[in-house]
Structure 1
Amino acid sequence: MASQPADVVREVESGLLRGTAYPTHTVFYSIPYAAAPVGIGRFQAPAPVRPWLGVRAATEPGPTAPQLPRGRFGSLDISAYFDPGWRVGPDYLTVDIWSPRDVAGGAPVLVFLHGGAFVAGSSHSPMLDGSRFAQHGVVVVTVNYRLGIAGFLDIPGAFPNRGLADVVAALAWVNRNITAFGGDPARVTLAGQSAGAMLTAAAIAAPEAAGLFVRAVMQSGSGSAAFSREQATIVRDAAAATLGIAPTLDGFADLTDQQLIDAVQELAGLDLGTAAVRDPLQRITPLGVVLDDQPVTTVAHAAGQPVDLLIGHNTDEGNLYLLPNGVAAATTPRQLTEAAEYADPDPDRLLSVYRRLHPTATPGRLRSIILGDAVFGAGSRAMADSHAAAGKRTYAYAFGWRSPALAGQLGATHIVELPFVFDNLLPTLQGADGLLGTAAPALLAARVHRAWVDFVTIGTPGWPEYRPDRRTTQLIDDEWSVVDDPFAAERDAWSHTHYTRTGNTLGCSPKP
C-alpha cells in the first residue's frame, strides 16, 4: 500500500515550517522571503521577514500579487497558466518549494520565475508544479514577485524595478536557506518563461545578483526587452492621468491595490515607440524592467553573471496574441505594413525578408511571425550571440511542436513549451480549445523535461554548445535535429533594430 501524505517540518532563518511529504517528494507553499509590501512599502525595496513563533503552516498556496483575472485568450483556454489569479492578502512575497523526498543534501536547485507580461501570474500556477523535477533529484523554487504598477512603474522617489529587486531578494533567501530542503546553494539555476525570462536576463546583468546563481534558462524571453527612461515616463504619466493623481510617489502610495490593477487595464495598447527606441514589447504590455543598458549589451561587454545559459523560443510565438481573438484572420495588407512599421525602422526590408521566407503566408500569418520575432525571437538570438561571444557556455533551442488546437492553427505558440519542460500535461490544457489541443505527446514531454533536468544538474542539455561561428541550435519537435544557424535570415533582418542602450535608469539600485 502506497504511503499517505504526511506532515514534515523544516527550519529556515525565520522559524519552523510545516509542509507535506508525499511518497516521492515534499512540498512547502508560500514561504515568505521578504516582508509583506503594504502601503508605501509597495514602492520600496523588499524588507526582511520578521521571525515567527511556533510552526508556520506551509501546506496550502497562499496570497498572490494583485492582478486582474485572466483565463482565456479569446477562444483559447489558458486558465492553467494564470490560476489561481489574485488571492488577496498582503503576505505574497513568497516562494513554493518542491524537493526530493529522501534527499540528503547537495541537490541542484531550479529557481523558476513565472510569466504573465509583468502584470499577472504566480508561483502557484498549475503548470509550474515542480513535483516531476523533484522526482528527478532537483529542488524547485517558484517565486511570487510584485506585478504591475507596484512592481514595475518607474516613479520618482520609489525604489526602481521593484519586481526585479524581489527576484534578487528571493535568490538571496534561497542562498541562505535552501540547504534546509536538501538543495545546494552553489548549484542554483535561475530560469523563467516570457516575462520571467526577461527578468532572468535582467538578473544576469545585475551586479546585485552576483554569486546567487551559476546557470540560467530563458524560455521565450529576450535580452533586449527593457524600457528606456523616456518610455517609463510615458507609462507613469499615462497611469497618473488614468487615476487622476499627480505622477508622484505620494500620489500612487495612497491608492488601493484594486485601483492600481484597474489602471493597468486602462494602459493596454499604449504606444511606447519613441524617436530613440522601438517598443520592445510591441504593445503587449506597457510595464517591465527599466535599465540603463539592455542585458544583451551588458553581456556583450563581458559583464554580468558568469553563468551557463540555456536559451530559446517557440517558432510560432505570436500566434497566442493574434489567432484566438481573430485578429490574424482579419489582418489586412495595410495592417501588416503598420505592424512592420511599428516593429522596425526599415519595414520594407523587414517585410521583404519575411515574404521571401514565407511566400504563401497570409497577411495575418506574416503579422504573427513578425510579432513573435520582434518580442521574443530576435532578442533571444541576440542574447545567445552576446553570451557565446563573451566566452560563456551557451545552449540554444527552438521549440517547434505544433499544437493542433484552434482547428490545427495554434502551432508552436507562446507558452506551449512550458508543460513539456515541467512534464506536466494537465488535462485542463487539452481539448479543442486547450493549449495542447487533442494531442499531447507524453514521450516528447519526458524528453524535453530530461534535457532541462540535465542542464540544471550537469550543465548541459545534451546537445552541442552554441558558438558564434556556428550558432548550433537544437530544434525540438516530434523529431529532434541539431542545425547550425537555422535563423540566419531572420537574425540579419533584425540585427540593426536591437539598440544597445535604453535610458538612464539604474538596474535595481536606489535612484539618486
Structure 2
Amino acid sequence: MKRRDALAGLSALGLSTFMTPVSSATPKTKAVTVTTTNGPVTGQVKNGTAVFLGLRYGDTTAPPYRFLPPRKPQPWTKPMRADTYGPASPQQSTPDPYGKSEDCLFLNVWTPEAAARNPKSGSRFSDSIARPKEAKTKRPVMVYFHGGAYANGSGSHAEYEGTNLSQRGDVVVVTVNHRLNAFGYLYLARLERLITGQPGPLAFSGNCGQLDLILALEWVRDNIAAFGGDPDSVMVFGQSGGGAKIATLMATPKADGLFHKAATMSGQQVTASGPGNATTRARAFLGALGLKPDAEGLKAVQTLPWEQLVTALKVTDPVLGSGGVYMGPVLDETILFRHPFYPDAAPQSRHIPMIIGNTLNETKGFQGNDPAYSHLTWADLAEKMPPSYRVDIDPWVVIDTYRKLYPQMTPTDVYFAATTAGRSWRGAIIEAEERAKISAKTYVYQANWQSPKDGGKYGAPHAVEIPLVFRNTAVPSAMTTDSEGARRMADLFSDAFIAFARTGSPQTAALPEWTPYSLPKRETMLMDVKPQLANDPRGEERKLFDKVPFVQAGT
C-alpha cells in the first residue's frame, strides 16, 4: 500500500504508471507477454487462465485533467507487469486494498488464450505496438461494469474475479475501473457557461465517467483480439449501477457500435439527471466545499485535494432531500442528447439483444439487515414505505392492495414487496415494455431463488446474481453462500449469460423455452432451482404502480 501510494503521487505528475516494468530481477514465473496498442504487458497464467490485472487504458485524470474527457495513455516499449489490480476512483466506501487515486483508468482481463509475444523478436518494438498480434481463437468477450450507484465500487471486488466464468464458458472476461461520483459526474457545464458566456472545457464534466467506459470499450475493440477475444462479439453486463451505466450507453452516440449484446441485473436508467437538477447539485456540492459558484470557485474545485471532494459528497442531496448528493449521467446535450428509455427505447440500440433482470426481494439487499424493518406493524407502513418505493402513491391503497393479493404477508413482507415493486422493479418493466413496443429482442428474468444466508432472511436480494453469474459462490462476501443450491443456481445463471454472449440468446438446455418479452404476455424467466417461464408475474403489483409516473431517483 505504501508503495502504491508513492506511485500514485508520481503518476499524478506523469512520472510513473501502476503497471510496473518487468525487470531482469523478476522471479521466473509462468508469464505471458501480449502486445497492445499502448505497449507490451505481462500477465500470469494461473490454472490454465491467463490473467492480466491493472491494464492501463487511460492516462491519469488528476489535476490538471480533473473533470475533463479521458485521454489515451502515453505508449511504452518495455513490458509492463500486469499482476496487480489498479486503484479505484476516489470514493466514500471502505478502504480499497489496491488504493484510491484519480489515476484509476485500469481494466483487467481473464482469458483462456493470449497471443504470446517473443520479446526477442523484432528490432523496432514501436512498430509492433501498433499491430497487436491476434490469438488463434476468437472468443466472445464479456465486459463487466461494476455497481455502486455511480458513486462507489471498483472492478477488483473478489466476486468479480473472472477465472471461473472464463473457464466455464471459454470466454474472455473484462472488468473496469472508471471515475465515479463528483470525479465522473459533477456537472459544471452550466455554471461555466453562465460565467463565461460560452461552452468551455467543463462541458463534458457531467458524463466523464461514461466517457471513461467508452474509452475502455475502445481499448477492447482495438486490443481484445490479442487476448483471444472477438472484437465483433462484445457483451456488456453489469449489476445495479453497472446496469444503469449500460442503459445510458445504449443512448449515447459515442458508444454506438462498441458492444453487441447487453445484460443488466437490477440496474435501470429510464431517465438521466436533467441539467437543472444537476446544476442544483453542483451548487450544493461547491457550497459544502466552501466555494461559490463563480469563476474562482470553479477554478478551485479543479485543484483541491481529492479527499476534500470526497468529504463534500456527504452534503444532503438538494433534489431528493435526503442522503448524500447524487451524481450520475446528465442530459448535457454534449455527450448525452436524450434519456435512455424516455420517451422510448433509444433507436441506436434497438438492434442489440438485451437481458433485463431483477430480483424478487430487491430492497432486502439494502435494508434486510436493519432491525428497524424487521418487525414492522400495519401502523408503521404508511410512513415507512413512501420514501423507499419512491413514487407518489397513497400508501393505504398500497397496503390494502397487498393485503388483498397476499393475505399471508406480514407488514414486513408487504414493506419489502412494495418497495421492491415501486423502486427497483418498476424501471425494469418500463425498459422491457419500451423495447417490446418496437420488437427489440429482450429477455427478462426475475431471480426467485432464496439465499440460505443468515437463515434465509434476505430472500432473493439485490446483488444476489453477481456471485452466481461469475461462479464465485465460495467468496466469503457472497450473499449466496456456497451451498449446493447456490452452485446449482451458478450453473443456471452463468450458462445463460455465456450462451447470451455467444449467440444473443440466453437459452440453455437446463432452462425452459425462453421466449423474448412481448406485449401483452410479458414473458419472464423465474430463475430458481426449478426455473419456469411465466407470463406477467406479479401482474397486479405492476398494475398498482402503473397508475403513477415513475421518477428515476437521479432525475
TM-score range, shorter chain: 0.7 to 0.9
Match of 2:80 in 1: 56
The number of equivalent residue pairs is: 477
Match of 1:7 in 2: 31
1:46 matches 2:97? no
For each residue in 1:418-466, what CA deviation from the matched residue of structure 2 results, as whole angstroms up to 9, or x when unmatched? 1001111124136xxx653867521221121111110101111112211
Match of 1:405 in 2: 453
Match of 1:95 in 2: 107
1:35 matches 2:83? no
CA-CA distance at 1:129 after TM superposition = 1.0
Match of 2:467 in 1: 419
d(CA) in 2 for partners of 1:219 and 1:414? 9
Match of 1:79 in 2: none
d(CA) in 2 for partners of 1:169 and 1:497? 38
For each residue in 1:446-497, what CA deviation from the matched residue of structure 2 results, as whole angstroms up to 9, or x when unmatched? 1211111101011111122112231111101121111111132232223344
d(CA) in 2 for partners of 1:308 and 1:95? 25
Match of 1:139 in 2: 172
For each residue in 1:253-293, what CA deviation from the matched residue of structure 2 results, as whole angstroms up to 9, or x when unmatched? 122111111222344xx36349xxxxxxx958722222364
1:251 matches 2:304? no
Query: SS state of the match for residue 185, structure 1?
Result: strand
Match of 2:198 in 1: none
Match of 2:345 in 1: 300
Query: SS state of the match for residue 210, structure 2?
Result: helix
Q: Which has the larger radius of gyration?
A: 2
Match of 1:287 in 2: 327
Q: Which has the higher contact order (CA 8 A, sep 6+)?
A: 1
For each residue in 1:42-80, what CA deviation from the matched residue of structure 2 results, as whole angstroms up to 9, or x when unmatched? 20111121111311111111211112233xxxxxxxxxx
Letter in 2 for 1:154: Y
1:177 to 197, 218, 223: 223
The answer as to whether partners of 2:87 and 2:99 remain within 8 angstroms in 1 is yes
Inter-CA distance 263–373: structure 2 relative to 1 (3 Å threshold) = farther
Match of 1:205 in 2: 251
d(CA) in 2 for partners of 1:261 and 1:19? 33
CA-CA distance at 1:127 after TM superposition = 0.6
Q: Which moved more, 1:450-459 or 1:489-498?
A: 489-498
CA-CA distance at 1:222 after TM superposition = 1.2
d(CA) in 1 for partners of 2:413 and 2:281? 30
2:93 to 55, 62, 69: 69
| Identity within the alignment, % | 29
2:40 to 2, 16, 24: 16
Structure 2 unaligned spans of 5+: 1-27, 115-134, 193-201, 332-336, 508-513
Query: SS state of the match for residue 216, structure 1?
Result: strand
For each residue in 1:366-403, what CA deviation from the matched residue of structure 2 results, as whole angstroms up to 9, or x when unmatched? 33333323332110111111112222111010001112
Inter-CA distance 382–362: structure 2 relative to 1 (3 Å threshold) = same
Inter-CA distance 457–447: structure 2 relative to 1 (3 Å threshold) = same
The answer as to whether partners of 1:197 and 1:217 remain within 8 angstroms in 2 is yes
CA-CA distance at 1:337 after TM superposition = 2.4
Q: How does 1:198-347 map to 2 (within 5 A)?
A: 198-224=244-270, 226-247=272-293, 248-267=297-316, 270=317, 272-273=319-320, 286-291=326-331, 293-297=338-342, 299-300=344-345, 302-304=347-349, 306-329=351-374, 331=376, 333=378, 336-342=381-387, 343-347=390-394
Query: SS state of the match for residue 73, structure 2?
Result: coil
d(CA) in 2 for partners of 1:249 and 1:86? 30
Query: SS state of the match for residue 108, structure 2?
Result: strand
Query: SS state of the match for residue 41, structure 1?
Result: coil
Q: Which moved more, 1:289-298 or 1:191-200?
A: 289-298
d(CA) in 2 for partners of 1:35 and 1:373? 41
Q: How does 1:467-482 map to 2 (within 5 A)?
A: 467-482=518-533
Q: Using structure 2 for the length normalisation, give the TM-score.
A: 0.80
Match of 2:232 in 1: 186
Match of 1:111 in 2: 143
For each residue in 1:81-113, what CA deviation from the matched residue of structure 2 results, as whole angstroms up to 9, or x when unmatched? xx8466134431111011113762321111110
Structure 1 unaligned spans of 5+: 71-82, 275-281, 506-512
Match of 1:484 in 2: 535
d(CA) in 2 for partners of 1:180 and 1:298? 40
Inter-CA distance 149–355: structure 2 relative to 1 (3 Å threshold) = farther
Inter-CA distance 427–185: structure 2 relative to 1 (3 Å threshold) = closer
The answer as to whether partners of 1:400 and 1:412 remain within 8 angstroms in 2 is yes
Q: Using structure 1 for the length normalisation, give the TM-score.
A: 0.86
The answer as to whether partners of 2:113 and 2:228 remain within 8 angstroms in 1 is no
Letter in 2 for 1:60: T
Letter in 2 for 1:68: Q
Query: SS state of the match for residue 98, structure 1?
Result: strand
Q: How does 1:381-460 map to 2 (within 5 A)?
A: 381-429=429-477, 436=481, 441-460=486-505
CA-CA distance at 1:229 after TM superposition = 2.6
d(CA) in 2 for partners of 1:437 and 1:357? 34
The answer as to whether partners of 1:33 and 1:95 remain within 8 angstroms in 2 is yes
Letter in 1 for 2:90: P
d(CA) in 2 for partners of 1:192 and 1:393? 18
